Structure 1
């Protein structure tokens, strides 16, 4: 079997082909690199027969439609996919062959409604259904996500043979692919939990989806061919926020500060010893909720990578803020774990802050 991972970024694209017939498929293509894929396929003397997306992507513009256009390959996704330019939809359990290589489709919703895994004799391409080690799995709080369905999908994966090597659609920290047997031991999302406990575990993370990811989903539904069809942070670990945090972040107890107290300090201009850290995307500042003047803005997905920028505030009181409190809670937990001692989450976020302003008037 020919098997290559084609990208240097956290988004993983796989080329899989037959040594005998030189027929190949590409899985989870990234639009910006389509021309590179075409050159590689030509230089390797391969014939691209199909391009597949394991799910509708929320963190990058898919290159599968463009790659199909350039090569004449057939664009394949699960039958639940809303992507308009898909040419062939496959159901759960669909058995097919890549020339002389058998591959089976397994529907694994939870991250998205159309998520699927591709099972070969010795490996499994898991998309965002399952990541590696402490990376866990793809988030379930985006449009179409469902933690209950994700639990059910993981139970299906748990029944597969331990020897299968796991190849996910994302890897943010250089973790190496390993066997499903190893993942059953090390991956937090595969540890024994009831469905109810799993839903609570994910729901308690309170991540809150980023608006930019919803824009990317819409662009992919419409088969966008422009890499700038939606604004995307550079290589942000957006699909795996919890997996990129230090161990123990989930267990951090985060103190809160009342909205009324924050309002009082803002109105009285008593913020000299306080830093308000807004962890929303910059584009959100233009919405109706606006922004508190003088905030420091670092999106929650970037907190772990930019802790050095906050070192100068380590002895000050830091109040984390987002739209409704979920992302701010996550950011506060990261800071507390990193040794920041005076960190508070403004519970309710800017939504509650603006509501309180209206009531006061």
Structure 2
């Protein structure tokens, strides 16, 4: 069966490769505390801008938040006279809190995520016993993207691709020739994302990655995380489809689906849970908002005992 969304994305990328006016400028902010890359992508002609996978600073020991990382984004946007139209989340992150609501207050922009966030909300709503007051319909977001849906960033066309496996709701947002792919892939020397969270699936991840690697070789890939592979001294978050297809240590050309699933499943069994998974998921499944305050006016993060 033809993959019409992939074909549309390919046409878009080839058009952008041929016409520099259709390529976004991308500036990245790297948060070393969570190893997260937040990308600010904009159309140089109209200054229309998307902020992708923002970070709200959180100290687990004290339970306190601060906006230093997000403030750097605000400063950059204002210095370059950009106009934020989108706050995009590639998925509900388990390793950092989203700063999207705080950034919306400062800069505007519609908050968007993949439509299958509702599946994540259903699963984790039960795990954290969020109660009936917690809406599981994605209404915390301004837009829920389905596979193949198109949008724009000023004059630059964009398309959303559903790439589940790490979580059920992962989306890749392709803006011009630049694909923001969340946690599906890491740098070629580091490999691929884990698939053992509730709702994750290594086989689906493999198929999603193969879908992304069917895009043109010159497609720019912007990653959500980097952890410095052994022997590499600097953080990195930009690569290409061609480089991943040829060199990715987990899923380069020639690696079969079964071999990948066996590798990924074995590797995931050795991994600890992310340090900030408890606060991150509870906040991010709510679109970056804290749980509703209790009767004393304070929000609380739950820790389910012996559950995860």
TM-score strictly above 0.5: yes
1:23 matches 2:83: no
Rg (Cα) greater in structure: 1
Pick the aligned partner of 1:91 from 124, 127, 146.
146
Change (3 A) 1:72 1:165: closer
Tell me the distance in 1 between the aligned counterparts of 2:243 and 2:104.
Answer: 35
Tell me the distance in 2 between the aligned counterparts of 1:114 and 1:29.
Answer: 17
Aligned-pair CA distance for 1:141: 0.9
| TM-score normalised according to structure 2 size | 0.69
Aligned-pair CA distance for 1:87: 0.9
Gap regions ≥5 residues in structure 1: 232-282, 289-322, 324-361
What's the counterpart of residue 195 of structure 2?
A: 140
> RMSD over aligned Cα, in angstroms?
2.7
Aligned-pair CA distance for 1:187: 0.5
1:38 matches 2:102: no
1:187 matches 2:248: yes
Aligned-pair CA distance for 1:99: 0.8
Gap regions ≥5 residues in structure 2: 1-23, 58-68, 122-137, 229-234, 291-298
Tell me the distance in 1 between the aligned counterparts of 2:202 and 2:215.
Answer: 20
Tell me the distance in 2 between the aligned counterparts of 1:229 and 1:21.
Answer: 42
What's the counterpart of residue 174 of structure 2?
A: 119
What's the counterpart of residue 178 of structure 1?
A: 239
CA displacement, residues 91-126 of structure 1 (integer Å, 9 cap, x when unaligned): 111122101011111110011111111223433211
Aligned-pair CA distance for 1:210: 1.8
Aligned-pair CA distance for 1:211: 7.1
Structure (1 or 2) with the greater helix fraction: 1
Aligned residues: 236
What's the counterpart of residue 217 of structure 1?
A: 281
Tell me the distance in 1 between the aligned counterparts of 2:283 and 2:55.
Answer: 13
Tell me the distance in 2 between the aligned counterparts of 1:34 and 1:175.
Answer: 20
Secondary structure, in 3 states, of the residue corresponding to 2:96? coil
Change (3 A) 1:229 1:199: farther
| TM-score normalised according to structure 1 size | 0.60
